[in-house]
């Protein structure tokens, strides 16, 4: 592991969830948050021709049942989830005794892992940028949620917390989700009932992309809402070359584009940490948790039944 070369303070006004209000929220005594400042220390490289952005249809939302409660404002409108440290949820009711746990819904023999919808104190979502061990096209890197494979004898929540310590050297606090959403490999969003506490936010069935060691295989990702409980200290260098904080609007739009790191920062993202090799003109695209959240945020924006 390498010590972080650069971190950005995480104190600041809370930022909108969705759609993005594009306000610049800065911590006290922080220099002006310009793209040039955020990219200081990252080697410059001549930009390459932009690749044509992929166009994707907005997935539809298919609710299983009408929810009994309105979804929290923090997940639906342009404000973060209140003070995340006060968002403790509540214990499930006794009438959920017959509702299955999420692992009981998984296909037999499934490959299972966890991911985090992890927010900083400003309300932005944190994603890791892929490190050297991942094979990608030249000039491109993917970004994804902090997380990884479930180990034998490990619970889902233990896995989520362990992966955060291993990948970014940080402690996290998981948050109970009032509703759990299922996202198919095609990006179709529906609602499911689970008895877990804390309940996961999203269950996503990912198909490993071409060129990866598990190309074509299905991977079940259980995604938890979470907030940082401490600072980032180290990055797992072979897996992670940086950590980027993105607004909900950027995440919603991520599945249809490959912006450069410089462009994302100009739109309101923040480079929280970086190792050598992450360049301003690197093009970024989502997989795993990041792709799932993009589908979810698109569905929320297109379905009025989910609005407050």
Across all residues in the chain, what is the average pLDDT?
76
Model pLDDT, residue 97: 66
Per mean pLDDT, which range of 52-56, 200-204, 248-252 is the poorest?
52-56
Model pLDDT, residue 199: 98
Model pLDDT, residue 213: 73
Confidence of residue 305 (pLDDT cuts 50, 70, 90): low
- On the question of a cis peptide bond just before residue 166, with omega within 30 degrees of 0, the verdict is no
Q: In sequence order, what DSSP letters do the residues of 107-142 get, joined into one string?
A: PTT-EEEEEEEEE-TTSPEEEEEE-TTS---TTEEE
Model pLDDT, residue 96: 54
- Burial readout 127-152 (b: 16 or more C-beta within 10 A, e: otherwise): bbbbbeebebeebebbbbbbbbebee
Higher pLDDT: 230 or 38? It is 230
176-229 pLDDT, tens digit per residue, is 999 999 999 999 999 999 999 999 999 999 998 776 778 889 999 999 999 999
Query: Mean pLDDT, to the nearest integer, of 256-275?
Result: 94
Domain spans, the chain: 2-10+56-82+99-306
Token look-up 């006794």 returns 94
Answer whether residue 256 shows pLDDT above 90.
Answer: no
Query: Mean pLDDT, to the nearest integer, of 101-124?
Result: 95
Q: In sequence order, what DSSP letters do the residues of 212-234 get, joined into one string?
A: STTTT-EEEEEEEEEEESS---E
Confidence of residue 236 (pLDDT cuts 50, 70, 90): confident
What's the CATH fold of domain 2-10+56-82+99-306?
Nucleoside Triphosphate Pyrophosphohydrolase (3.90.79)
Model pLDDT, residue 11: 35
What sections of 140-191 are H helices per DSSP? Answer: 156-168
């Amino acid at each position: 592991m390498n010590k972080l070369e650069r971190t950005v303070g995480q104190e600041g006004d809370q930022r909108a969830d969705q759609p993005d209000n594009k306000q610049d929220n800065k911590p006290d005594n922080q220099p002006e948050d310009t793209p040039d400042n955020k990219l200081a220390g990252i080697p410059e490289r001549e930009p390459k021709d932009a690749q044509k952005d992929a166009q994707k249809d907005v997935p539809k939302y298919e609710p299983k049942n009408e929810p009994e409660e309105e979804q929290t404002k923090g997940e639906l409108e342009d404000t973060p989830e209140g003070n995340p440290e006060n968002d403790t949820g509540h214990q499930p009711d006794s009438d959920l005794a017959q509702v299955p746990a999420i692992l009981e819904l998984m296909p037999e023999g499934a490959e299972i892992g966890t991911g985090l919808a992890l927010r900083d104190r400003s309300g932005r979502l944190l994603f890791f940028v892929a490190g050297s061990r991942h094979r990608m096209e030249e000039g491109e890197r993917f970004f994804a949620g902090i997380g990884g494979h479930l180990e034998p004898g490990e619970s889902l929540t233990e896995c989520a917390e362990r992966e955060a310590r291993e990948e970014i050297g940080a402690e996290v606090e998981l948050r109970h989700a009032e509703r759990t959403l299922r996202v198919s490999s095609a990006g179709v969003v529906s609602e499911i009932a689970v008895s877990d506490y804390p309940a996961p936010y999203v269950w996503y069935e990912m198909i490993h992309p071409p060129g990866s060691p598990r190309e074509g295989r299905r991977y079940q990702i259980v995604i938890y809402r979470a907030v940082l409980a401490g600072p980032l200290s180290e990055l797992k260098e072979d897996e992670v070359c940086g950590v980027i904080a993105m607004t909900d609007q950027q995440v919603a739009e991520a599945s249809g584009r490959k912006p450069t790191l410089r462009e994302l920062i100009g739109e309101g993202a923040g480079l929280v940490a970086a190792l050598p090799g992450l360049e301003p003109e690197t093009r970024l695209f989502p997989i795993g948790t990041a792709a799932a959240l993009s589908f979810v945020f698109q569905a929320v924006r297109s379905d009025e039944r989910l609005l407050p």
